Structure 1
Amino acid sequence: MLTGKQKRYLRSLAHHLDPIFQVGKGGVNENMINQINDALEARELIKVSVLKNSLQDPDEAAEAILKGTKAELVQIIGHTIVLYKESKENKTIELPRS
């Protein structure tokens, strides 16, 4: 579980990132969850964009992604979801102690 201080730190790191996944009309599916999991292992911090034509709102999409990937939700802002998951093999982000 992330503390407020850690979430603020991750939000500051994510500010300059572009979304690398888009949730479209089909919503969140198993293939997308697998790809997001791989991206989280490689990068630790990613953004996911929920398109306007998506049948899921950003909260529902985030819930489905979190359930499938076991990642931490950093922030939902507008149609953008910021996710963090500590990498097992190439850890690059050092979280501040609470």
Structure 2
Amino acid sequence: MTAQLPLAYGYLRDDMLCDLGCKSSEDRLRAAAGSLGYELGTVFHEPAPESGTLPPAFVDLVQECRRAAAHAVITPHGHLSNMSVCRMVLLAVLDVRADATVHEVEF
């Protein structure tokens, strides 16, 4: 019997994927999660950010981390930046609401 790896979720901003495509990006996140010692669950896709509120897919991500007691989020560098809500606020929400740590990886 093999030990089960801890669960992590992925977060991608679709407006930042360029030509990689969703499937390739998810595969890269899965590989990064494995190298960090996690099993990647759902990857949450955020459309281009809009004004002043928490992005909807981000809110879903926080709720799912809480529900599943998952304490890690894997995302490419920059995918939590340049939104209407500052990166530090997003990181704080994940920390306080879901006790989740963000691992930003290179693509």
TM-score interval w.r.t. the shorter chain? Answer: 0.3 to 0.5
Q: TM-score if structure 1 supplies the norm length?
A: 0.40
| TM-score normalised by length of structure 2 | 0.37
